Amino acid sequence: MLFLGLFILLEYFFIDSNELLNKLVANYSGQVIFGVFLISETFLGLIPPEIFIAWSAKSVSPWFYLFVLASMSYLGGIISYFIGKQLFRIPSIKYHIEHKIAIHISNLRKWGGVFVFIGAMLPIPHSVVSLACGLINYNFKNYVFWALFRYVRFALYALVIFKVF
């Protein structure tokens, strides 16, 4: 919500986001935008998803595009989870996790569902939470269940963003 407030503030004083979004829709295909989004959602969530949600509001089928974006975000999180599992195979990372932060990892495994829920719903990079879950070998079935709240987040944000744009 903080990002949304900042975006509206920038819109009011500095940029015409409708014009910017119209240019994105006119100049780039959906495949390009979806590809950039998947990469962003897989690798540290560098571009806030709210920008893509606003972009989907300008598309020919906003709710379908939103569903595709939410699905790509969910998939990007799963890819990040497996990247984390692979990183755990690196001896120095494995040693650090097992010896230096073991007590925190125990709590994270115990309360992992809350951690994944927060990562799915709040404007923190979902891919970072997913990567961490893979690193600590959090139960994958529990991860994919709690990560489904990503869809809820996209729908809630769309209800606000679609009214603004």
pLDDT tens digits for range 82-129: 999 999 999 998 888 887 777 777 777 788 888 899 889 988 889 999
Domain boundaries, the chain: 2-164
- Give the per-residue pLDDT at 14: 64
Q: Provide the whole-model pTM.
A: 0.81
Residue-wise pLDDT tens digits, 27-56: 777 888 898 889 989 988 878 888 889 889
Q: Higher model confidence: residue 23 or residue 15?
A: 23
Helices (H), 58-148: 62-87, 91-95, 102-110, 112-121, 126-135, 140-147
Gap between the Cα atoms of 129 and 104, Å rounded: 14
Residue the block writes with tokens 């230096």 = 100
The token duo for 129 is 């939470």
CA angle in degrees (0–180, nearest 5) for 41-112-45: 15
Q: How far apart are CA 68 and CA 46, in angstroms?
A: 19
